[in-house]
């Protein structure tokens, strides 16, 4: 079974599992094949929990389908599964990778992932790309460029959910991360394209945020957003191969200087700048060593735990916002009157403040 095939298990894939599932109501055991034949929302919570904890990919993929569903009933079931699996989550190394399209994220993740599998890790790759459509270019491109990893049974690749706001995509990615961790993946790589706010969202859900850059010949510091540099736990200049090595090294020297300005004096971690070649598997061993060194240092000072804790609170706040906005849109009176209210705001007959008051009153807040 390949990592690719388990993403779409809808068409009767057979899975032989080393555990027994018991139907809560009847007390009879049901065969895993029977579970797999059920639609995702009909599978009992206990079966999801037992199956995922046993590393069953087909059930994992189905639970992710629930997480991604916009149906509130599916959402509630997903939350129950997540709550039960919570004690099994949190143990993975969570690595975020960003960079503009073409920088080599997929190539690098493919190679890094293969290196990690060879060390005995289990690697999950999740993508956040609110601009993508499942049928569209970038994700298909990604899939073809993670060819090696996609063949491996200890790897799991999940493209970005195809629709929704960044907030929605972020929530689903966090929940998917929890599910893959519960399924035993001990390295989770979250890939995002370097556009918009998606890097901020990813930096807020990982332990280590890696920015991939290219050398651009002289004016390297231009065109790179200061905000990204501030989020980076490390910068890697990719495509340091062939006749590009010298240029990559001089770009690295420039970024090193820039990073010194942003890193507070006395910080536990000074973001390193490496040169790598994802294609040629050059520098990736050092890259991973830095990820582990960061983990060790930050754990020793308590900053690792603090980062995880504040991320849990961000997760809660994001979800609250998401749910409040969802409730607002689902409210029948608000839904009916919103177009008129917006029209009045647009033509200047209603102040935005009063419009908000009116909506809040309708919601009973
Ligand atoms: N020379 C060289 N080319 C690379 C390297 N990594 C990726 N590429 C090429 O750059 C292009 C974009 O790579 P891809 O991994 O899809 O980038 P992404 O859009 O950031 O995921 C592809 O044609 C790759 O073959 C590298 O380390 N060296
Ligand atoms: Mg890509």
**CATH code for position 337:** 1.10.287
Are residues 112 and 253 located together in one domain of the fold?
yes
Considering the domain architecture, whether residues 217 and 162 belong to the same structural domain is answered as yes
Q: What are the strands of the beta sheet with 123-128, ordered from one edge?
A: 155-158, 123-128, 187-193, 93-99, 208-213, 234-237, 273-275
Cα(104) to centroid of ligand 2, in Å? Answer: 7
Based on the structure, what is the number of domains in the chain? 3
Query: What's residue 221's pLDDT?
Result: 58
Residues 27 and 168 in one domain: no
Other Cβ atoms within 10 Å of 179 Cβ, number: 28
Show the tokens assigned to 344.
Answer: 């009045």
Averages of pLDDT over runs of 10 residues in the chain (365 residues) are 37 39 50 68 93 95 91 92 95 94 92 98 89 48 71 90 73 93 97 78 94 72 66 94 94 86 84 96 98 98 96 90 85 93 96 96 90
> Hey, which of 102, 103, 104 would you mutate to test ligand 1's pocket, going by the most ligand atoms within 8 Å of its Cβ?
104
220 with 349, same domain: the answer is: no
- Work out which ligand 1 atom sits closest to the CA atom of 278: 27
Q: Which residue from 96, 99, 102, 210 has its CB within 8 A of the most atoms of ligand 1, so it is best to mutate? A: 102
> Quick one: 241 and 111 in the same domain?
yes
Residue 1 pLDDT:
38
Cβ contact 241:134 at 8 Å: no
Which pair of tokens denotes residue 268? Answer: 């536990």
User: Is 70 found in the same domain as 9?
Assistant: yes
CATH number at residue 15: 1.20.5.170
CA distance 105 to 98: 7
State whether 20 and 143 are in the same domain.
no
Mapping DSSP onto H, E and C, the string for the chain reads CCCCHHHCCCCCCCCCCCCCEECCCCCCEECHHHHHHCCHHHCCHHHHHHHHHCCCHHHHHHHHHHHHCCCHHHHHHHHHHHHHHHHHCCCCEEEEEEECCCCCHHHHHHHHHHHHHHCCCCEEEEEECCCCCCCCHHHHHHHHHCHHHHCCCCEEEECCCCCCCHHHHHHHHHHHHHHHHHCCCCEEEEEEECCCCHHHHHHCCCCEEEEEECCCCCCCCCCCCHHHHHHCCEEEECCCCHHHHHHHHHHHHHHHHHHHHHCCCCCCCCCCEEECECCCCECHHHHHHHHHHHHHHHHHHCHHHHHHHHHHHHHHHHHHHHHHHHHHHHCHHHHHHHHHHHHHHHCCCCCHHHHHHHHHHHHCC
Instruction: List beta partners, residue 126.
Output: 158, 190
Q: Do 336 and 192 share a structural domain?
A: no
- Which of 301, 326, 342 lies at the terminal end of a domain, its last residue? 301
* Pick from 208, 232, 238, 199: nearest CA to 102: 238
Q: Can you read off the two tokens belonging to residue 178?
A: 């929890």
- 82, 98: one domain: no
Tell me how far the alpha carbon of residue 73 is from its chain's centroid.
23
180 contacts 85 by C-beta, under 8 angstroms: no
Contacts of 195 (CB under 8 A, 6+ apart): 100, 131
Confidence (pLDDT) at 229: 76
Based on the domain organization, do 105 and 203 belong to the same domain? Answer: yes
pLDDT at 168: 78
Which residues have any ligand 1 atom within 6 Å of their CB? Answer: 99, 101-107, 141-142, 145, 238-239, 241, 277-279
Whether 215 contacts 244, CB under 8 Å: yes
**Tens digit of each residue's pLDDT (9 = 90 or more) over 123-163:** 999 988 766 554 444 444 444 578 899 899 999 998 876 66
Provide the residue range defining the domain that includes 51: 5-87
If asked whether residues 199 and 320 sit together in one domain, one would say: no
pLDDT at 18: 41
Cα-based torsion angle of the residue sequence 122, 90, 170, 125 in order, rounded to the nearest 10 degrees? -10
Structure tokens at 259: 């990073």
Structure confidence at residue 37 (pLDDT)? 72
Closest protein CA for atom 23 of ligand 1:
102
CATH of the domain at 203: 3.40.50.300
21 vs 23: CA distance, rounded Å = 7
**Beta carbons of 290 and 95 less than 8 angstroms apart:** no
97 and 225 assigned to the same domain: yes
Distance 106 CA to ligand 2 centre (A): 4
Of 107, 113, 138, 275, best ligand 1 pocket probe by most atoms within 8 Å of the beta carbon:
107
Ligand nearest to the CA of 278: 1
């Amino acid at each position: 079974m390949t990592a690719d095939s388990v993403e779409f298990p809808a068409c009767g894939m057979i899975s032989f599992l080393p555990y027994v599932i018991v139907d809560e109501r009847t007390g009879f055991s049901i065969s895993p094949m029977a579970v797999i034949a059920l639609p995702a929302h009909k599978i009992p919570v206990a079966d999801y929990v037992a199956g995922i904890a046993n590393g069953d990919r087909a059930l994992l993929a189905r639970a992710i389908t629930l997480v991604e569903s916009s149906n509130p009933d599916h959402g509630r079931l997903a939350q129950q599964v997540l709550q039960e699996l919570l004690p099994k989550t949190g143990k993975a190394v969570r690595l975020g990778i960003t960079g503009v399209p073409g920088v080599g994220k997929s190539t690098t993740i493919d190679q890094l992932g293969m290196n990690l599998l060879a060390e005995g890790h289990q690697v999950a790759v999740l993508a956040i790309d609110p601009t993508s459509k499942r049928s569209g270019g970038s994700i298909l491109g990604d899939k073809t460029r993670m060819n090696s990893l996609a063949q491996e049974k200890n790897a799991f690749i999940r493209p970005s959910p195809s629709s929704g706001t960044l907030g929605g995509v972020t929530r689903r990615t966090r929940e998917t991360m929890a599910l893959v961790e519960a399924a035993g993946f001990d390295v989770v790589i979250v890939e995002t394209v370097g556009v918009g706010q998606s890097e901020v969202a990813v930096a807020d859900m990982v332990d280590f945020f890696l920015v991939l850059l290219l050398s651009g010949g002289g004016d390297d510091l231009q065109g790179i957003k200061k905000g990204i540099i501030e989020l980076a736990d490390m910068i890697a200049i990719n495509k340091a191969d062939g006749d590009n090595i010298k240029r990559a090294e001089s770009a690295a020297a420039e970024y090193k200087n820039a990073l010194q300005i942003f890193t507070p004096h006395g910080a536990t971690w000074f973001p390193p700048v490496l040169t790598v070649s994802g294609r040629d598997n050059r520098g990736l061993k050092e890259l991973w060593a830095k990820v582990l060194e960061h983990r060790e240092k930050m754990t020793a000072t308590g900053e690792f735990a603090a980062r995880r804790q504040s991320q849990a609170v961000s997760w809660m706040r994001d979800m609250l916002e998401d749910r409040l906005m969802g409730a607002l849109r689902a409210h029948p009176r608000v839904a009916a009157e919103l177009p008129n209210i917006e029209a009045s705001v647009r033509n200047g007959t209603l102040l935005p403040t009063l419009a908000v008051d009116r909506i809040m009153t309708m919601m009973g807040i």
